[in-house]
Structure 1
Amino acid sequence: MGSGEPSGRDVLARSVRGQGRRLALGSTLGCVHQLGEALVPVLIGVVVDQAVAGQDAGRLALWLAVLAVLYVCLSWSFRLGARAGERGAEEAAHTLRLAIVHRVLDPRGGAEEDRLSGELANVATEDAKRVGAVTMALMSGIWAVAGITVSALALLLTSVPLGLIVLLGTPVLLWLGHLLSKPLERRSEAEQDRAAGAAGVAADLVAGLRVLKGLGAQRAAVERYRRTSRISLAATLRAARAEAWQTGLVLALTGGFIALIAWIGGRLALDGSLTLGQLVSAVGLALFLLGPLETFAWVNTELAQGRASAARIAEVLAAGPAVVGGEEPVPDVVHGRMRLRSVRFGGLEGVDLDLPAGRLTGIAVTDPACAEALLSCLGRDADPESGSVELDGVPLTRLDPAGLRAAVLVAAHDAALFEGSLAANVSPDGGDGQDTRTDRAMAAADADEVARSLPEGARTGVGEGGRSLSGGQRQRVLLARALRAEPPVLVVHDPTTAVDAVTEARIAEGLREIRRGRTTVVVTNSPALLAVTDRVVFLDGGRVGAEGTHAELALTHETYRTAVLA
């Protein structure tokens, strides 16, 4: 990992530092609670020696009152301390989620490379939650240290041998617990990797469910997910076994340690070195130690899982951008002329292309890969291997990517709809679809007909991903959203593949009318859309094969005629 890129350790450290005040408050209150817990057996021993053995009712009432006050204090300190810790854990996880989303949405891209959307969602939810939980684990560890320290001091005052056993034995137990957590950390990371892969495959299959049904490929899709899920299950079981072994061994060591303290305390009581009350206190403190030592086992587990998740988050945050450079702001006035100079990228082989400002240009292709490569270059999702792409004479590599995306909108055919109303998916302010810009955009895309067919019109919810709409309806809503944005340059890709011929003709005319005077590029092989363009560029084999109007090319160019009309 290069310099300046966050590591898993950095992610953990920043997450904990960001909750420093809550961590300090929760730790202080927790230490007060542990002090109270440790004092309970000490006070009971005092009650036995001074009140019970002496049969003094007054002293008994006094010490019972002290115990009652102590219980109130330790109860409230625990409640308030735990609240601060839980709040810190949730805030830390939320901060990490925001950082991950910010990185994924960075205009320079790169975070999504080689990762399914479900994987990124898993990192932003489960991994962020585990790293956030480290704050609570550290606070609990501080509580446990305080509890053991107070108990050791109390035992030293009661019996030097018992106090020394606690002071010397606890670090050994902690060291052994740390060693036992290492296999869990490795297996936890593998578990999260496999779980994220399964989530990614599931999200991918759900997104393409209608297509899979249309192809009759449900069985193959289910088998793919079954294989991925089995791999994830195997990794989860390995991690669970490692956690069970670690927890079991630590508890066994802890139990043996407590038994040793109780045995030595009993021997000291038999030879008269301890009074009855001191023996009760010693045994009570030994039993109390079971809680802090079990807490250490849990803390080790949380830290192991947190380190593994932090490493996965760091990979996303440290992912290199898909495009670099570009600090120059986009001019306030964008005329919209775009030009490709000897562009070589993907399926494009040295393409020279001029897209005039204010014109509607159609681009037909023989290879879909060329269309995808062209869209990536125009939207600067990637930079060409050679050559350049310009906007109003300025190379895109010099322009700020965020400003460029506002000036040049590339509307992919597989863009997503969001849960909410149809109007909210078209209009950025989430209106009801009654403003003039939205009405014009929906009419041009024939999405107003979609709204009229819904029970509550444009206010009707479309469901997650627009699943309540048909494929053609989704396409029209997506096109309306792109038209509503009114960018200086609009590039649309196959916006009508799922609509009937009559609807497609209406959309073609509407598109031409609403974009009149603005630069518009339609990447499609649809004759209806190409027929309304001012000029068509035909990409054949990654190169410009012909240019002209749709009618001219359909009459004179056989390859074009085959690609578009066949």
Structure 2
Amino acid sequence: MPVKPPAQDARPAAPPPRGPGAVLAAAARSVRGPLLGSLVLLAGHQAGEALVPVVVGVVVDRAVDGGAAGALLGCLALLAADFLFLSLCYRFGSRLSTRAREHSAHRLRVRLAGRLLAHDDAAGRDRLPGDLLTVTGSDTQVVGQFTSWLGMTTGNLVAVGLGAALLLRMSVPLGLLVPLGLLVLLGTPAVLLLMNRAGRPLERRGAAEQAAAARAAATAVDYVSGLRVLKGLRAERTALRHYEGVNRESLRATVSAARTEAVLDGAGTLLAGVLVAAVALVAGRLALGGDLGLGDLIACVGLCQFLLAPIQGLLELGPALARARASARRVAVLLDAPAPPPGTARLPEDVPVRGELTVRGLAHEALRGVDLRLAPGEHLGLVVPEPVAAAELLACLAGDLAPAHGTICLDGVPLTALDRAEARGAVLVAPHQAYLFDGTVLDNLRPDEGEAGEAATSADTEALHAAAATDLVDGLPHGTATRVGERGAFLSGGQRQRLSLARALRAAPPVLVLHDPTTAVDAVTQTRIARGIRTLRAGRTTLVLTSSPALLGACDRVAVLREGRVTASGPHTALLATDSFYGNVVSA
């Protein structure tokens, strides 16, 4: 069969690897408008705060000196205007800062969701759901919080700079050896550098805390989703003990990180207080010596009190940045997951896919040289008693596992040579686990069409009938418009399985692979489903991994995969008569 080369621009070039710094920078750029607005307004708020003690000092000097009433009223009006200015700046600056934080976190979550839902699905492979939930939830929120810290940090820098400048202006005319403002300007960076170095252990412990929390969440999600199985096995106590152990590890990591953060916060508060107290002490000695007037002393002490909060805020930046970098690093791991190389071949667009599926020498851990051929339109049953071998074969057919040896070809083209999306569109593997989404029956039947609406088409009806799900829909309060709940929580196990099967049949791929699609239904329903699949899939290749006699009896041919190899093949009735191993497996 001729193979069409892929288009040169079929896939964009992979972006360069992203580290935590790049993730934080991208989060800030995604909300540059609100972020810049919050930077300006919060800086204006801090500037207004810094001017308050200065204006109060001027008012006191005018009052003590017996200045004109008009000038005094003017100073009071200026003070009122300053309060109005700083209040408005803080109100709207905080609003923009919150908007930037939430929007950046939301956009990062959307990017992660797009990466996880990509056809190559390399990002979410081998990651537990709880771990992914932690990264896309709490970690993205911490990264979004980073944008708020940018606005607050800018305001704090403006406050420290303006406060130092005002103190410098008051102390330079006095001829001090070390001006008050210079003491602030030199002391603040030194303390910041010290706190930044001290914050590195927090970054490491924060990463360990988030990883432990992810493991605890993953364990909880797995146990909740498998609660019925655990109860059936009477393993609730064992599961509880295991979860308690994982939760204790998370608690220890959280306490360790919190202890480090508390030490850093306390040290930052102490250093900020010492720095401001030193400035206030120098100013007090100058006032006692008569070098500073009453108004200047009030302004100086007020500035010292004012500077305490922004300096402390700057010192808190180290621990906050450590946590943001730890979360950004976990986000970057998902965003930077290597995508598989683009396909080197494409199925011809002008020729329909025939559906010839050939497996040659397929070998992995449990597979030991599987040779199997499905003719175009053939309905083949495959009995695989070993669960590991079945899982490996399904993973290879779905493209989730690269076999150690051997190939799988569709119409003569290796599946590994096709683009991932094209391969999955041609060969659909429907797993045994019924995954349903929180939507209506039609939303689950047609997930690729967005909101399916209320009107069922003939294709929907045919798929439901083939999966013996028509009576299921008829019994629902709103028919196909009934919501099924998260993971199909409003349906029984058999109903979920039939609806999941109907969705796979509704997709109508050239090759459909089904894995035990009728384990949760009774024998009569299995017979109906077997006839329905056979009728609906007539002329299209279908591979059914099952041990159900009803499904195997409806197949053109049945193959037996034993100890990693195909050991028998033939009609269902012939194998029952000649192969005792097959008979034991099917009748078990």
TM bucket, shorter chain: over 0.9
How far apart in 2 are the matches of 1:200 and 1:556? Answer: 47
Q: Which residue of 2 aligns with 1:252?
A: 270
Q: Which residue of 2 aligns with 1:377?
A: 396
Following superposition, which runs of at least 4 residues in structure 1 exceed 6 angstroms of deviation? Answer: none
- Deviation digits for residues 122-149 of structure 1, max 9, x if unmatched? 1011111111211111221111111100
Q: Which residue of 1 aligns with 2:128?
A: 116
Candidates 201, 220, 228, aligned match of 1:202: 220
How far apart in 2 are the matches of 1:541 and 1:166? Answer: 77
> Where does structure 2 lack aligned partners over 5 or more consecutive residues?
1-13, 173-178
Candidates 222, 228, 236, aligned match of 2:240: 222
Shift of 1:398: 1.5
1:421 aligns with 2:440: yes
Counterpart residue type for residue 419 of structure 2: D
After superposing the two structures, state which structure 1 stretch, 137-146 or 189-198, moved more. 137-146
Tell me the secondary structure at the aligned position of residue 353 of structure 1.
strand
Q: Which residue of 2 aligns with 1:305?
A: 323
- Deviation digits for residues 258-307 of structure 1, max 9, x if unmatched? 22111111111111111100011101111110121121133222211001
Q: Which residue of 1 aligns with 2:194?
A: 176
Q: How does 1:144-543 map to 2 (within 5 A)?
A: 144-160=156-172, 161-321=179-339, 323-332=340-349, 333-428=352-447, 429=449, 430-432=452-454, 434-543=456-565
1:52–1:60 contact (8 Å) kept in structure 2: no
Shift of 1:162: 1.2
Shift of 1:247: 0.7
Shift of 1:172: 1.5
- Deviation digits for residues 10-40 of structure 1, max 9, x if unmatched? 2223223333343333212222221111111
Counterpart residue type for residue 546 of structure 1: A
Counterpart residue type for residue 517 of structure 2: P
Counterpart residue type for residue 53 of structure 2: P
How far apart in 1 are the matches of 2:241 and 2:315? Answer: 39
After superposing the two structures, state which structure 1 stretch, 347-356 or 22-31, moved more. 22-31
After superposing the two structures, state which structure 1 stretch, 374-383 or 95-104, moved more. 95-104
Q: Which residue of 2 aligns with 1:562?
A: 584
- Deviation digits for residues 92-149 of structure 1, max 9, x if unmatched? 2222212222222222233234321110111011111111211111221111111100
1:7 aligns with 2:24: no
How far apart in 1 are the matches of 2:229 and 2:484? Answer: 19
Please report the TM-score for the alignment, with normalisation by the length of structure 2: 0.92
1:116–1:200 contact (8 Å) kept in structure 2: yes
Counterpart residue type for residue 49 of structure 1: D
1:423–1:459 contact (8 Å) kept in structure 2: yes
Tell me the secondary structure at the aligned position of residue 159 of structure 1.
helix
- Deviation digits for residues 151-171 of structure 1, max 9, x if unmatched? 011111111321111111111
After superposing the two structures, state which structure 1 stretch, 161-170 or 53-62, moved more. 53-62
Counterpart residue type for residue 398 of structure 1: A
Shift of 1:433: 5.7
2:383–2:561 contact (8 Å) kept in structure 1: yes
1:77 aligns with 2:89: yes
Counterpart residue type for residue 199 of structure 1: A
Tell me the secondary structure at the aligned position of residue 199 of structure 2.
helix
Q: Which residue of 1 aligns with 2:112?
A: 100
How far apart in 1 are the matches of 2:124 and 2:237? Answer: 28
How far apart in 1 are the matches of 2:370 and 2:247? Answer: 44
After superposing the two structures, state which structure 1 stretch, 270-279 or 458-467, moved more. 458-467
Tell me the number of residue pairs that the alignment of Structure 1 and Structure 2 aligns.
564
Counterpart residue type for residue 144 of structure 2: G
- Deviation digits for residues 356-403 of structure 1, max 9, x if unmatched? 111211111121112111111111112221111111111111111012
- Deviation digits for residues 454-490 of structure 1, max 9, x if unmatched? 3333332222111222211111111011111111111
2:434–2:496 contact (8 Å) kept in structure 1: no
2:167–2:181 contact (8 Å) kept in structure 1: yes
Shift of 1:238: 1.1
Counterpart residue type for residue 336 of structure 1: G
How far apart in 2 are the matches of 1:51 and 1:348? Answer: 94
1:89–1:135 contact (8 Å) kept in structure 2: yes
1:330–1:400 contact (8 Å) kept in structure 2: no
1:325–1:397 contact (8 Å) kept in structure 2: no
Identity between Structure 1 and Structure 2 (%):
47
Q: Which residue of 2 aligns with 1:45?
A: 57
After superposing the two structures, state which structure 1 stretch, 420-429 or 60-69, moved more. 420-429
2:280–2:301 contact (8 Å) kept in structure 1: yes
How far apart in 1 are the matches of 2:583 and 2:418? Answer: 38
Shift of 1:177: 1.9
Counterpart residue type for residue 343 of structure 2: G
- Deviation digits for residues 470-523 of structure 1, max 9, x if unmatched? 211111111011111111111110011111111111111111111111111111
Please report the TM-score for the alignment, with normalisation by the length of structure 1: 0.96
Tell me the secondary structure at the aligned position of residue 491 of structure 1.
strand
2:268–2:316 contact (8 Å) kept in structure 1: no
How far apart in 1 are the matches of 2:232 and 2:319? Answer: 46
Counterpart residue type for residue 348 of structure 2: P
1:184–1:301 contact (8 Å) kept in structure 2: yes
2:191–2:315 contact (8 Å) kept in structure 1: no
How far apart in 1 are the matches of 2:348 and 2:216? Answer: 45
Counterpart residue type for residue 323 of structure 2: Q
* Aligned Cα root-mean-square deviation (Å): 1.8
How far apart in 2 are the matches of 1:476 and 1:64? Answer: 78
Tell me the secondary structure at the aligned position of residue 544 of structure 2.
strand
How far apart in 1 are the matches of 2:75 and 2:587? Answer: 97
Shift of 1:327: 4.7
Shift of 1:318: 2.5
Tell me the secondary structure at the aligned position of residue 383 of structure 2.
strand
After superposing the two structures, state which structure 1 stretch, 554-563 or 459-468, moved more. 459-468
How far apart in 1 are the matches of 2:567 and 2:296? Answer: 97
Counterpart residue type for residue 50 of structure 1: R
How far apart in 2 are the matches of 1:306 and 1:447? Answer: 49
How far apart in 2 are the matches of 1:117 and 1:432? Answer: 31
How far apart in 1 are the matches of 2:230 and 2:348? Answer: 45
1:324–1:397 contact (8 Å) kept in structure 2: no
Counterpart residue type for residue 20 of structure 1: R
How far apart in 2 are the matches of 1:327 and 1:17? Answer: 36
Counterpart residue type for residue 389 of structure 1: I
Q: Which residue of 1 aligns with 2:175?
A: none
How far apart in 1 are the matches of 2:323 and 2:40? Answer: 25
Q: Which residue of 2 aligns with 1:131?
A: 143
